[in-house]
Structure 1
Amino acid sequence: MTIDELVRQTLREWSAEANVPPGDLAGAALRRRRRNRSRTFAVVAGATAAVIAAAVTAPALVQGALVQGREQLGNDAPAIAVVADPDPSRETAADPDSSPPKTLVAAGEVAAYSYYTWKEEKISADRQVRKLTWNRYDRDRGVYERTPWAWLDVARGGEAAAFLEEIPATRVGVLTGRGAEVRWIALERPASAVRWSPDATRLLLTNYSANPDESYIPVDNSQQGMPQSRIGFTVVDLNDGRSVFRTVAVDPDAGFDHRNDFGWSDDGTLVWESHAVMPVTRKYYDLEGRARPAPSKEAETYQQAGLSPGGTRLAVESPDRSAVVGIQDLSTGRTVPLTPVSGYWIEQSVAWADDERLVVWACEQKGTDDCVGGEFRNRLLLVGLNGGEAVPLSGFRENSQQEDESWVPVFTAR
């Protein structure tokens, strides 16, 4: 079996296993890779690593100030650690005793202004649909509150929100602040995902002709894939309400049988879709729907955190079996594994708090390569790159693969 064939097969297995909602697709990939490490490590580490959280969590945009005076990573770098917040207005906010969190989770330049849970609902004898329940942080009350919306994205700063009432939807709702009236914008084509631009002036909607979250009910641990229904994307300019639809054909080699939503590039000039076959993990398009080269090395990693705010480091797959996540110094090309710290095995990078710290998913370590209570029992941690302690940001998810037992944070710039 070739690398491409293995990647494609593995991606389809992941899709059939859980029809993972976009925000935790990378986590599922990482965890599956650990389960099958002895069989596929050498190939998957270099070719697939983990599937990026492509469909929703690109809002983990990190626009932080750089922490000056830190040494570049080297092969002899000490264990990862927490570095104090350089800006008091960016103090770490954590709820280490709750899962899902009740109060805000934030660190450095990013905050989880929303999170979702999911469940499968049977809709016919052989079909089911995955439905997400979204919770949004209420700054006035200081807690997360459940919303009635089928899809949600919160703009940088945490005040404005865009949402869909159903999947798919023929209009998108926009709230510019607490207590504001909903602004409705009609869509030319139905959409099943919405995402704010980095400057919060535009919306990017992924258009589908059918519900991408429908699937056949698995039989004998296998699942028949549904026809791909994505038809393109729509960009809405919130200044004048004008929307433009662009047709983008589905790449048959992308490796996704269900959702493959579009995300914004960091500067908002391009959009991207996930691609499962290395070395290209993202395919980019201009706002006319024309293919364009990737603007940065971020397209070469499946790690959700991607490029650091200052553009000097990249979260990648670990170069050896001592870890899952590695940090690549882009000036030297050297990659250092994020090895266990403070009794935690790091399973997945989530977002950069700043150039020196990462938000990650991690489990309590048991032995050399095992997790207390299983690898699905994990929590959010804030870890640094220069040795020391790790700070818990949330309680433990007891099972991130089972409905009603999982929650997935969506990080956005503060």
Structure 2
Amino acid sequence: MKSDPQSREKLMTQKTHEQKQRRTRALIAVGAAVSLVAGGTVIALVAGGGDTESNAVKPPSALHVLARPEQSPPQDLIAAGGVAVSGYHTTKIANEADGDAVVTYTWSLYNAAAKRYQKTDWAWVDVAPGMRTAAVLERDLPADRIGMLNMATGKVQRWIKVDKGIGGVQFSPDGKSLIATTYSLNPDGLFKDASYRLNRKKVPGPKPSRTGFYVIDLATDKASFSALPPRKDGPGVYGGAGRQDLRWSSDGKLLWEPAANKAGKVYYNEHAHKSAVPELEASLPSPGGVLSPDGAHITGSFAGEDGQIVSEVLDAKTGKRSALVPGQQLLAWADDDHLIAWRCDPEQCEPGKGEFRNRLLLVGLNGEDTIPLSGFRQAKLRDENRWTPILSDR
């Protein structure tokens, strides 16, 4: 789970494909399962809150989609191809009596038995590939144990106890290990004695307090600790200097955190020794890019000009642009030819109006095939109802 990406959203507008939009709106209005032939790929679309799925015979390349274009935050499962929204969180700042404050995350997880997202009381959450298990931390971070939650029942199957307080967890790409970052203070805490001025107002600020991390083998629950103090030359993963969680590399062999260098990251092995940037990732044209499953493409940055709301997709070998697709930010690959993206409302993207009123969208590399996956989020960037998805392999 992964600074708030919306802080980088672009304030642009786009000429829309009116014919495509009319077809998509017609599909949504049906409120039932249909098949959309897009670029030779059959896409099963479930619109609204219905659970009916298409029984049509689909070719091996078919991309299965569960879309909830009227739901924000979603209540029913959103999915496309091999990726699903396994949960989401909202945030708010809670002021405390002593002048301190804390950034509070409220997590909702998909419950397979109930077939809907359900709000939880966990302080921190990550979901394993396959969406059967979630790692959870209790309130009042740092926590002294990690719960392994059965997502079908909503109950903790077992607890992994540790000696040092944990503030964040993440599953490895294969789901066999956990990285658990440790802190001496609440990484989401805002403290009066670290105050700074924001918009001419003095507000409590974060304190870097990372002490290290555990690598936990989930087959044995054996936890190996390595000390690692906070960095001073890079932002926290979630946008504040207090939270500086370690993350897994894409192949699960190394750990990384943001840094102010060419790669945008600094890598470590599982014993906290600095490592060279992996060869594959060092050759990528975009340090923050996401590789397609077949390794042929990588997501690029926003590339809108003349009022367009588009981002570029690059050839992973050459770094040259291979496609322009609708969206402000490309989040994940549903398959080799389709992406999940954030895109603002084309009619309200002007600065000061609705540049942050965006929705999840499924987009094809041809730049034309689009399916709304969720309803629009609130237009205000700091609105407490703005939700951030957990995108997981399913």
**TM-score normalised per structure 2:** 0.78
Give the equivalent residue in structure 2 for 1:398: 378
Which shifted more, 141-150 or 123-132? 123-132
Distance of 1:225 and 1:336 partners within structure 2: 43
Aligned partners of 2:129 and 2:393 also within 8 Å: yes
Distance of 1:397 and 1:24 partners within structure 2: 18
Greater relative CO (CA pairs within 8 A, separation 6+): 1
The answer to whether the aligner puts 1:330 opposite 2:313 as a matched pair is no
Aligned partners of 2:304 and 2:311 also within 8 Å: no
The answer to whether the aligner puts 1:354 opposite 2:335 as a matched pair is yes
How far off is 1:200 after superposition? 1.6
How far off is 1:297 after superposition? 2.9
- Give the AA of the match of 2:273: R
Aligned with residue 171 of structure 1, among 145, 149, 172: 145
Say if 1:396 and 1:170 are closer, same or farther in 2 by CA, change over 3 A: same
- Give the AA of the match of 2:73: P
Give the equivalent residue in structure 2 for 1:19: none
Higher share in helix: 1
- SS of 2:185's equivalent in the other structure is coil
Distance of 1:140 and 1:320 partners within structure 2: 42
How far off is 1:202 after superposition? 1.4
User: Which structure has the bigger radius of gyration?
Assistant: 2
Aligned partners of 1:83 and 1:384 also within 8 Å: no
CA RMSD of aligned residues (A): 2.8
Say if 1:90 and 1:386 are closer, same or farther in 2 by CA, change over 3 A: closer
The answer to whether the aligner puts 1:265 opposite 2:257 as a matched pair is no
- Percent identity of paired positions between Structure 1 and Structure 2: 34
| Structure 2 unaligned blocks of 5 or more | 13-37, 44-58
Within-5 A mapping of 1:101-250? 101-166=74-139, 167-176=141-150, 178-179=152-153, 181-216=156-191, 219-221=197-199, 223=203, 225-250=205-230
Distance of 2:212 and 2:73 partners within structure 1: 33
Count of residue pairs brought into register by the alignment: 339
Distance of 2:371 and 2:39 partners within structure 1: 9
Aligned partners of 1:30 and 1:324 also within 8 Å: no
Aligned partners of 2:285 and 2:316 also within 8 Å: no
Give the equivalent residue in structure 1 for 2:233: 253
Distance of 1:253 and 1:283 partners within structure 2: 11
**TM-score normalised per structure 1:** 0.74
Aligned with residue 411 of structure 1, among 386, 391, 394: 391
- Give the AA of the match of 2:372: P
Higher share in strand: 2
Aligned partners of 1:130 and 1:213 also within 8 Å: yes
- SS of 2:328's equivalent in the other structure is strand
How far off is 1:320 after superposition? 6.6
Say if 1:196 and 1:323 are closer, same or farther in 2 by CA, change over 3 A: same
- SS of 1:111's equivalent in the other structure is strand
How far off is 1:389 after superposition? 2.8
Say if 1:312 and 1:389 are closer, same or farther in 2 by CA, change over 3 A: closer
Distance of 1:380 and 1:372 partners within structure 2: 21
Distance of 2:221 and 2:2 partners within structure 1: 28
Within-5 A mapping of 1:67-106? 83-85=41-43, 87=60, 91-106=64-79
- Give the AA of the match of 1:281: G
Give the equivalent residue in structure 2 for 1:364: 345
Distance of 2:166 and 2:329 partners within structure 1: 29
- SS of 1:182's equivalent in the other structure is strand
- SS of 2:180's equivalent in the other structure is strand
